Structure 1
Amino acid sequence: MASRNASRWSESDIPRQDGRVAVVTGANSGLGLQTARALAEHGAHVVLAVRNLDKGRQAIARVADRAPGAKLSLQRLDLASLESVRTAADELHAAYPKIDLLINNAGVMYTPRQKTQDGFDMQFGVNHLGHFALTGLLLDLLLPVPGSRVVTVSSQGHRIQADIHFDDLQFDRSYKRIAAYGQAKLANLMFTYELQRRLASHDTTIATAAHPGGAATELGRNMPAPLRAITTLLMPLISQSAAMGALPTLRAATDPAVTGGQYYGPSGIGETQGHPKVVASSAKSHDAAVQQRLWTVSEELTDVKFPV
């Protein structure tokens, strides 16, 4: 179904998703919850992949209230543990013969210095490496499915103090939380672009990316105090609801006009608010040599090899 007005694409433009299986990471709150709800309301069987099962059950109840009869499942997934990622992938293989949509939504932002179970910087480990591994382990369930997509949620933070610090990927020498977030979100985009390059010879599956703009979620709870104060003052100008913030992800996941490698974000000034459209990412995110180097390093760190 084509949008009645592509410049004001909204949930009403989502085509029916009946018969489709969508896995949404971090679906217990914020953007992930809104993404799961909208897909369920349009007929998809949505798997909420979450770290906290109690919160996941509460999220399922909330979605079911809005979409009676919705097809919903819960999957435990802790992206800060490669063991958990592998277990989740095994369980999803056992439960579903195919996956139509994998939405890599979960994330952490500006956390204090922390390490994942595998010794990775928390922001890099959860936002990039966990999703890299999950995608690689599930891709065989997507490749046979016409119209299947991998959607990875990035951020405008990919432009701020952002680089891939190959000499100190885990920020062991000097931890800077904003730079660590920028690296992780830049990695999300580089992963998407390199994955799409590898998928180009397949006519079934594409990789896309999205960012929510200034969506009002719990993600900013670790924001440094001075930045939080500034953000609070500017909030009316730069923020929008989580439901609006989820629209770029939903468009990247469902709009029939989407092509592989596209990046969606809000259409307003500074891409902080508004209906979703194709937006540009930084020049740095398009460096193919760095994308390929990051891919190789990510395979080595996660011990996950992709079937493409």
Structure 2
Amino acid sequence: MGLVFSIISQAFPPKSKFNVEDIPDLSGRVVIVTGANTGVGKETVKALLQHNAKVYVAARSQDKAEQAIQDLKEQTGKDGIFLKLDLGDLKGVKASAEEFLSKEKELHILFNNAGVMVPPIDQVTTQDYDLQFGTNVLGHYYFTTLLLPALIAGAKSSPDGKARVVNTSSSAAYFANTIDFNTVKNTAARKKKGTGSLYAQSKLGNVLFANEFGRRYADQGIVSTSVNPGNLRSDLQRHLSVFERTFINWMLYPTSFGALTQLYAGTSPQGADMNGQFLIPWARPAALPSGARDPKLGEELWKWLEEQVAKV
């Protein structure tokens, strides 16, 4: 009953007490938003630009990102900066981090916002990982850890002494209790598990990574959170059938609502004290999904992630 109530309360949240207008001035702050060319990512960039942040629009498609940057320029009068990032290719992730570090010494806020939801089961990453786990978890892990020197430097130069990493998860994290490491690469077990369960597993992975990253680097000024942005009308639904989209459309909110929770974690004064917390719509701290409460599982995931990128 507790799980059902939690899911319902997140699907139909109360009015937010935090709004875009509450974001403080971000002059001098350097920010990266992954998956920033569309949906929640684009709305997040818009709010950050409106509050004077220097924002890197990290996306796989340069054409789509540049169109988004032009749209945002027209809306805010400010310029985002394109950063090529393909989270489904570990070598590409490394190249993207190196490109950023060649331009910036400090990173104050990282929004690990990009994600893939229920693609066809035959879709995998360049290195043959499950597309959802490889993109949502492994790609973001590698990108974040490569950027760690800039995050630590960003923490030192921030007024509150903190750099923030906000990891976009989902209410789907409540439907996975563990990580089956036999299903995160392109195996028969993976295909048997099914794309919906693989999605939930990847969203649990986002929370576990956020917790473990925050535990390891809190003493260096890192604040790592994970969020459920809410049920939103976005490009994430592109792999759903027409029937599925029609069925869920009535309970979906505009993407501007979805940006609120991660902006709260990433920019508000309160967010500086939220290391290891899970936030739900709209901008509310909540209990961790049950599968994310085992620190041993977080350590196991971290060890596995380290092993995957050791020879990239």
After TM superposition, is the score higher than 0.5? Answer: yes
Instruction: Give the 4+ runs in structure 1 shifted more than 3 A.
Output: 224-229
1:75 alignment partner, SS class: strand
Q: For residue 212 of structure 1, report the CA deviation from its aligned partner.
A: 1.2
User: Which among 251, 263, 267 is matched to residue 250 of structure 1?
Assistant: 263
Structure 2 residue 133 is the aligned partner of structure 1 residue 118:
no
Deviations 1:30-52 (A, max 9, x none): 00000011001100000000100
In structure 2, how many angstroms separate the alpha carbons of the residues matched to 1:228 and 1:55?
Answer: 23
> Are residues 23 and 126 of structure 1, via their aligned partners in 2, closer, same or farther at CA, if it must alter by over 3 Å?
same
Other-structure match for 1:3:
none
User: Which among 289, 295, 305 is matched to residue 302 of structure 2?
Assistant: 295
Other-structure match for 2:200:
182
Q: For residue 221 of structure 1, report the CA deviation from its aligned partner.
A: 1.4
Other-structure match for 2:6:
none
Other-structure match for 1:39:
48
User: Which among 42, 54, 63 is matched to residue 54 of structure 1?
Assistant: 63
Structure 2 residue 180 is the aligned partner of structure 1 residue 165:
yes
Q: Which amino acid in 2 is paired with 1:209?
A: S
Instruction: Give TM-score scaled by structure 1 length.
Output: 0.89
Structure 2 residue 40 is the aligned partner of structure 1 residue 66:
no
> Residues 116 and 125 of structure 1 are in contact (CA less than 8 Å); yes or no, is this contact kept in structure 2?
yes
Other-structure match for 2:138:
129
Q: Which amino acid in 2 is paired with 1:81?
A: D
User: Which among 237, 245, 252 is matched to residue 220 of structure 1?
Assistant: 237
Other-structure match for 1:156:
171
Deviations 1:97-128 (A, max 9, x none): 11111110001000112110011000000000
In structure 2, how many angstroms separate the alpha carbons of the residues matched to 1:71 and 1:168?
Answer: 41
Instruction: Give TM-score scaled by structure 2 length.
Output: 0.88
> Residues 81 and 130 of structure 1 are in contact (CA less than 8 Å); yes or no, is this contact kept in structure 2?
yes
Q: How does 1:229-248 map to 2 (within 5 A)?
A: 229-232=246-249, 235=250, 238-248=251-261
2:154 alignment partner, SS class: coil
Q: Which amino acid in 1 is paired with 2:165?
A: V
Structure 2 residues not aligned, in runs of 5+: 1-14, 156-161
> Residues 137 and 304 of structure 1 are in contact (CA less than 8 Å); yes or no, is this contact kept in structure 2?
no
Other-structure match for 1:22:
31
Other-structure match for 2:97:
89
> Residues 174 and 290 of structure 2 are in contact (CA less than 8 Å); yes or no, is this contact kept in structure 1?
no
Other-structure match for 1:98:
106
In structure 1, how many angstroms separate the alpha carbons of the residues matched to 2:248 and 2:288?
Answer: 22
Q: Which amino acid in 1 is paired with 2:62?
A: L
In structure 2, how many angstroms separate the alpha carbons of the residues matched to 1:135 and 1:304?
Answer: 17
Identity over aligned pairs, percent: 34
Other-structure match for 2:275:
260
User: Which among 51, 75, 84 is matched to residue 83 of structure 2?
Assistant: 75
Q: For residue 162 of structure 1, report the CA deviation from its aligned partner.
A: 5.1
How many residues end up aligned between the 2 structures? 286
Q: Which moved more, 1:208-217 or 1:125-134?
A: 208-217
Q: Which amino acid in 1 is paired with 2:152?
A: L
Q: For residue 96 of structure 1, report the CA deviation from its aligned partner.
A: 0.7
Deviations 1:249-304 (A, max 9, x none): 100100111221122221xxxxxxxx321122311111101110000001111228
2:224 alignment partner, SS class: strand
> Are residues 118 and 261 of structure 1, via their aligned partners in 2, closer, same or farther at CA, if it must alter by over 3 Å?
same
2:80 alignment partner, SS class: strand
In structure 2, how many angstroms separate the alpha carbons of the residues matched to 1:290 and 1:171?
Answer: 22
> Residues 88 and 139 of structure 2 are in contact (CA less than 8 Å); yes or no, is this contact kept in structure 1?
yes
> Residues 177 and 290 of structure 2 are in contact (CA less than 8 Å); yes or no, is this contact kept in structure 1?
no
In structure 2, how many angstroms separate the alpha carbons of the residues matched to 1:212 and 1:38?
Answer: 15
Q: For residue 75 of structure 1, report the CA deviation from its aligned partner.
A: 0.6
Other-structure match for 2:293:
286
Structure 1 residues not aligned, in runs of 5+: 1-5, 267-274
